[in-house]
Amino acid sequence: MSHKKSVLFFSFVLYKLALDFAYWKITSVDTAIYNFDFNSFKYMNGWVCCIFVFLCIPHKKDYASTYFLYFKFLLEIIPITVIYGMANENHFFYNILIVSFSAAAIIVNHKKFVIQVTKRNADKLIILICSIVVVSLCINIYMMNGLPTTMALNFDHVYELRGSGIFKISKYALYILRYAIFVMIPFLLTNALCKKKYISIAFYSFLTIYVYLYTGMKSYIFMLPLIIAATIWSARKAFYYESFLSFSLGAALIVLLYNCNGLINKIYSFFIRRVMFVSANNKFKYFDFFSKNPKMGMAGELPRWMIQIKNPYPEGIGYIISEVYYNRPEMNSNTGFMVEGYMRFGILGMIVVFFTFAILLLLIDNLQLKSSYQAAIGISIFNIFILSDGYLLTVVPWLLFIPVLLLYSERTVSDRGYSRRLAFRAFNLKVKLR
């Protein structure tokens, strides 16, 4: 094991121990939501599984997919492992999850393909089209709603804003909004950051904040520092190790200083509790519910004008989970893609979803080849992040838009030879665009 990989390994161990302590002493105190029922066998099995997954991820390879595999390992797999051992959760589901994620990592590690396109220099046209669409959407939102309120500026009032129903948008504009947030703004903002176009950076950041003021979706405002930090930082050669070492040490420091400062307390509540433990806890609840009740299939995802699929839970599965497991029917307990497959089609569905996740990562590597490592990280990181609290099918628009982004062939920054090595190692799959 190399020196850098050894440091990364011990930082992950520290991070796991910090989350164990945080769940035991801080989070599980809320007994209405969480449970503390330590199981020594499951706790040790969790350590073995985490080490196995760590070794499956190719830490030395210069691919964006490698970065995102470890990103999801820290953000989702470890919190799930903590709750599995310290709350005595379902052994079968956890091990199937580990096997599925490890299989996705192995697929990404050993199978590379390159989509070659014949059309070139389309980046300016794509930037222009995306900019026009985003600006037109913002104008449409203003025409339907007038000036935004200031409620979204206070995070304590965000849910009040979202529940008020004052934000109005047509169903077609809602489809465009999904494309704008998941695809266009990350693409436009990352492109501006890579080329150091500061006016464009400010403009696209303003449009993101503008949409947030109407919708109150905190993930929209969080995407700005996430994309900006990741894009700028990924230009450094040691980005992979620096970012994850900082992530692990930062999380451990937040846990250590939890009772020392009110701001740190809020950061813990918003990030470690909400993003990690809430989502991880809900995954086990979703598995338990759907192991006893009908699966959802594709209900609720495909547009009803395209195909009609009966939804066995029209009132919303998130609210049902809250009522059944937490006695809070007003709360929407959503969770991430790692239980989505089982929720829809059972164990086979889990395999399909993780295979789809592997394909998504391979497509991101193609984006890296056509632009740069820095651009691939910046454009993709928000979509990968929201998978911890949303379904993989949420990023279907992103998947459909990949072939268009592949036309973006101009080198955005020097990529330190990443794309040349990727092209050399890859199996070429030629796709001609006429």
Q: Which of the four pLDDT bands, split at 50, 70 and 90, describes residue 420? A: very low
pLDDT in tens, 285-328: 999 999 999 998 877 666 665 667 777 887 788 889 999 999 88
Tell me, yes or no, whether 382 lies in a domain: yes
Higher pLDDT, residue 85 or 307: 85
Tell me, yes or no, whether 354 lies in a domain: yes
**pLDDT value for 407:** 60
Tell me, yes or no, whether 359 lies in a domain: yes
Token pair of 406, please? 């592949």
Tell me, yes or no, whether 278 lies in a domain: yes
Tell me, yes or no, whether 243 lies in a domain: yes
The answer on pLDDT for 71 being more than 50 is yes
Number of domains in the chain: 1
Tell me, yes or no, whether 50 lies in a domain: yes
Question: Pseudo-torsion of CA 224, 169, 131, 412, nearest 10°?
Answer: 40
Beta bridge partners of 115: 429
Q: Which of the four pLDDT bands, split at 50, 70 and 90, describes residue 402? A: low
Tell me, yes or no, whether 226 lies in a domain: no
pLDDT in tens, 232-291: 999 998 999 999 999 999 999 999 998 888 889 888 988 899 889 999 999 999 999 999
Q: Which of the four pLDDT bands, split at 50, 70 and 90, describes residue 416? A: very low
| Crossing angle between the packed helical segments 347-370 and 396-405, to the nearest 10 degrees | 30
Residue range(s) defining the domain that contains residue 41: 3-117+237-296+337-391+400-430
Tell me, yes or no, whether 281 lies in a domain: yes
- Computed over every residue of the chain, the mean pLDDT equals 85
Which of 101-115, 258-272, 391-405, 415-429 shows the lowest mean pLDDT across its residues? 415-429
- This prediction's pTM: 0.88
Token pair of 401, please? 């838009």
If you average pLDDT over residues 163-189, what whole number do you get?
84
Q: Which of the four pLDDT bands, split at 50, 70 and 90, describes residue 148? A: confident
Distance CA 284, CA 421 (A): 40
